[in-house]
Amino acid sequence: MTIKWLPNILTSMNIACGATSLLFLINNEVKFALIFFVISMFLDVMDGKTARYFNISSEFGRELDSLADLVSFGVVPAVFLYQSLNLQSLTIINALVVAAFIVCGALRLAKYNTLNIKDHFLGMPIPIAGGLLVMSCLIFDDKIFLLTISSILSSLMVSNIKFMRI
C-alpha cells in the first residue's frame, strides 16, 4: 500500500532539493546549490521511472511533478543565471530574460500536461533546458552569451519542435 506514494515522495524530495539549491544560491554557495540541483535531477528521473515501473501514475503525481519541475528546473536555473550575470543593478532586458525562462518553463509544463502526448515531447522539456542553462552558467562567463542561450532555451521550451523521449 505504501508503494503507491513512493513516486510522490521522490517528487517531494525533488522540490525540497530545488528549494535547498535556491537557498544556497541566495547565500552565494554555488557548489552546494549545484549539488542539490543535481540531486533534484536524479530524483526527477527516479519519480517517473518508479511510477511507470509500479504502474502507479496518477493525475496528482503528474501535477506535483510539474510543480517540482518549475521550482527545480525553472526557478533554480533562472537564479543561477541571475547570479552568473552578477546583476548589481538589474536592467529591464536582463530582468525580462531571467523571468522569461521561468514563464516559458511554466507554459511548457502546462502544455505538456494538457496535450498528453506519449511518443515525443513537444518543446524542449524543462529539465533539459534547466540543466543546459545551469551548465552554461558554470562554463561561460560572457553575459551576452548567457542572455542569448537563456533566450534560445526559453524559446525551445515553448516551441512546437518535437523532442525524442528517452
Looking up residue 60, the CATH number of its domain turns out to be 1.20.120
Q: What cell was used for 20?
A: 535547498
Percent of the chain with pLDDT over 90: 67
Distance CA 86, CA 38 (A): 22
* pLDDT score for 87: 64
How many CB atoms are closer than 10 A to CB 63?
A: 13
Predicted local confidence at residue 1, as pLDDT: 52
Domain count, the chain: 1
Mean pLDDT over residues 74-83, rounded? 95
The DSSP H or E segment spanning 120 is strand 120-122
Q: Which residues of 113-145 are buried (b: 16+ CB within 10 A; e: fewer)?
A: eeeeeeeebbbbbbbbbbbbbbebbeeeeeeee
pLDDT digit string (tens) for 96-144? 999 999 999 999 999 988 887 777 888 899 999 999 999 999 999 898 9
Q: Does position 89 have pLDDT exceeding 70, yes or no?
A: no
Dist. CA 20–CA 149, nearest whole Å: 25
Please count the CA atoms within 13 angstroms of the CA of 80 that sit on its side-chain side. Answer: 35
CA 122 to chain centre: 16
The pLDDT of residue 2 is above 60: yes
pTM over the 0.85 mark: yes
Where in the sequence is the domain holding 22, given as residue range(s)?
A: 2-164
